[in-house]
Amino acid sequence: MKTDGKLGDVLFTSAQIRSRVQELGAHITRDYAGKELTLIGVLKGGAMFAADLARAVRLPVSLEWIRLSTYADGAVAGEVRRKGVDLDADLCGRHVLLVEDLIDSGLTLAWLRDHLAAFGPASVESCVLMRMHKEDRIENRPVPRYVGFEVPSATWVAGYGIDYADRHRNLPDIHEYQLPAIAA
């Protein structure tokens, strides 16, 4: 039986997030000046971050969205499931920057990187707000070009677009989340 988990302390306040997003936006603006840049926000978790980051990038970017999911209801890592990939954008010759709330196993970003190669982009990089540390080396875990915050591996998070069981996405801060105990 699965019991409810618990929302824990604030890990990153909305002010910290805002300030880091501005820094990331400034880096991206510098790095992609003069290039055709398409930002692709990964739904649902990346929605808030992508919307804020897009406004922090001072370039005429295209903004697209893609929806994927790796976890069914709670926190069990599984295979990347496509919940509809509505991406008829012309990415040919464009520099693509995937915008994700977090990288954990890296399955999602690896799948996207491979999937988008078929669209003929000039480059595919990623910007993640949080990189979850892993004690175990994950083979071929993608290396994001931009990382907002490094987070210890044991930490599960919720808020600022990120859910537990589809709740808490609306919280302005990012909280630690104590996962539910699994009882037999």
Ligand X SMILES: O=P(O)(O)OC[C@H]1O[C@H](OP(=O)(O)OP(=O)(O)O)[C@H](O)[C@@H]1O
Give the pair of three-digit tokens for residue 38: 């398409």
Is residue 102 close enough to count as binding ligand X by CB under 6 A?
A: yes
**Residue 62 or residue 70: which is nearer to ligand X going by CB?**
70
Is residue 5 close enough to count as binding ligand X by CB under 6 A?
A: no
Q: What is the 3-state secondary structure (H, E, C) of 9-62?
A: EEEECHHHHHHHHHHHHHHHHHHCCCCCEEEEEEECCCHHHHHHHHHHCCCCCE
Give catalytic residue positions: 104
Is residue 69 close enough to count as binding ligand X by CB under 6 A?
A: yes
Strand partners, 123: 95
Count of residues touching ligand X (by CB under 6 A): 17
Is residue 157 close enough to count as binding ligand GUN by CB under 6 A?
A: yes
Q: Which helix (H) or strand (E) holds 116?
A: helix 107-117
CB 56 within 8 A of CB 30: no
Q: Helix, strand or coil for residue 175? A: strand
Shortest distance in whole angstroms from residue 124 CB to ligand GUN: 21
Q: For ligand GUN, which residue of 17, 68, 124, 132 counts as binding (CB under 6 A)?
A: 132
CA-based nearest residue to 45, from 133, 129, 116, 106: 129
Per-residue interface string for the shown chain with ligand GUN, residues 17-56, x marking contact by CB under 6 A: ----------------------------------------
| DSSP secondary structure, 138-154, as one string | PTT----SEEEEEE-TT
DSSP 112: H
Is residue 12 close enough to count as binding ligand GUN by CB under 6 A?
A: no
**Residue 37 or residue 102: which is nearer to ligand GUN going by CB?**
102
Q: Residue 29 corresponds to which amino acid?
A: T
Shortest distance in whole angstroms from residue 25 CB to ligand X: 20
Per-residue interface string for the shown chain with ligand X, residues 107-126, x marking contact by CB under 6 A: xx------------------
Return residues touching ligand GUN (CB under 6 A): 102, 104, 132, 155-158, 162-163
